[in-house]
Structure 1
Amino acid sequence: MNKVDHQLDKQQLRRSLLKTRQLLPVEEWREKSDRICTHLESSHLFTQSKTVLAYFSFRQEPDLSPLISARRQWGFPRCVGDRLIWHLWKPGDSLQKGAYGILEPHPDSPVLHSTEVDLILVPSVACDVRGYRLGYGGGYYDRLLNSSEWATKLTIGIVFDFAFSLELPIDSWDKSLQGICTETGLRMMR
């Protein structure tokens, strides 16, 4: 398969899975999201983490908001240029819509550095059994996870089970995640 076909496959797969996700009835989306949160809460990888990076649900991504509590520090991203900048956030702190319409912490909120982070919960369109993810196509998480400062952080992809597959098309810059969490459970890859 040539590179054009490969990229077209990724685009078609992304479109199809996003459409399926957006067609989930709200009650089913909430139930599946809550089960993902329950699996994470019962994992020692999560409970032992003091600082967790997460995301604000957008376009019916699994909602992780039930996890947010004062028991740990939370970081959320802002898109700045072609990078993600992580900011400390707690309930009640201000939010604003970023370049893609996604809620982001206020730019004046404290920045989190990789040395402070224990776990990254990675939003995904799809994930496979090898730990590879299909993102949204902007490359933000690819750049983050391939940078030397973030490469050793524990990563868990968050996706609904219908988007968990045997094998996704991958590129040379794709880096596998250590785990995948769906509403049916948390699977560690390595």
Structure 2
Amino acid sequence: MEILNYNKNTLRRQLLQQRAALSMELWRSHSDLLCHHLSTCPEFISARTILAYQSCRQEPNLDYLFTHTNKQWGLPRCVGKNLVWHCWQPSEPMLIGAYGILEPSPELPPIEPDNVDLMLVPAVAIDRSGYRLGYGGGYYDRLRADPLWRKMLTIGIVFDFAYVETLPIEAWDLPIDNVCTELGVTKSTFIYAAE
């Protein structure tokens, strides 16, 4: 899919419609392939503490990684206009947050940026330069604008149809370091794809 002359709202609507149109079978198989590729890339393998997300609106589902890898996971809560991160493991219950997204309990221990090795970033789309189109709330933009979080290694998570040539960008947009789709993990010109 080539993106050139569309505004962000139009793109967001089109890509969310395309993602929503995926059959449940295709969504699950693409999510499983994505998790497989992610679990074999060096950045993931070497990370001990990883920030992730709970899938909503047919985002790639990361449940396989939560239950089949030995990592300390961090999940976000939306607090006002910010994301607050908490330690979480699959055995711990989730709560429904303000946007209908599952969130960790606020009673779970918080995670500070110095203790994190990798952030898995959800997106509506990501382009070849690493720029991300989110949902429009600015949560990840504000988080990554903070110098304490900006230095963190990131992998953007999208299905391949949403890994596009170019996106419209704003002055505050920061590129993602790597992108993972059901076809593999791309970092600059290097591709880590499991055999």
TM-score interval for Structure 1 and Structure 2 normalised by the shorter chain: over 0.9
Q: What is aligned with 1:25?
A: 23
Does the aligned pair in 2 maintain the 1:177–1:189 contact within 8 Å? Answer: no
Cα displacement string for residues 27-64 of structure 1 (whole angstroms, at most 9, x for unaligned residues): 00000001110111111110100000000000100001
Q: Structure 1 length normalisation: TM-score?
A: 0.94
* Aligned positions of 1:1-190 closer than 5 A: 9-69=7-67, 71-189=70-188
- How far apart are 1:121 and its partner, in Å? 0.2
User: Which residue identity is paired with 2:171?
Assistant: S
Q: Distance in 2 between matches of 1:117 and 1:132?
A: 22
- How far apart are 1:80 and its partner, in Å? 0.3
User: Which residue identity is paired with 2:159?
Assistant: F
| Structure number with higher relative contact order (C-alpha < 8 Å, ≥ 6 residues apart) | 2
- How far apart are 1:189 and its partner, in Å? 2.7
User: Which residue identity is paired with 1:177?
Assistant: I
SS of the equivalent of 2:44 reads helix
SS of the equivalent of 2:137 reads coil
Structure 1's consecutive aligned runs of 4 or more residues displaced over 6 angstroms after TM superposition are: none
SS of the equivalent of 1:137 reads coil
Measured on the aligned residues, the alpha-carbon RMSD in Å equals 1.3
Count how many residue pairs are aligned between Structure 1 and Structure 2.
Answer: 184
> Which runs of no fewer than 5 residues in structure 1 stay unpaired?
1-5
> Which runs of no fewer than 5 residues in structure 2 stay unpaired?
190-195
- How far apart are 1:146 and its partner, in Å? 1.2
Q: Distance in 1 between matches of 2:185 and 2:70?
A: 21
Identity %: 51
Cα displacement string for residues 48-102 of structure 1 (whole angstroms, at most 9, x for unaligned residues): 0000000000010000110014611000000001110000000121211111100
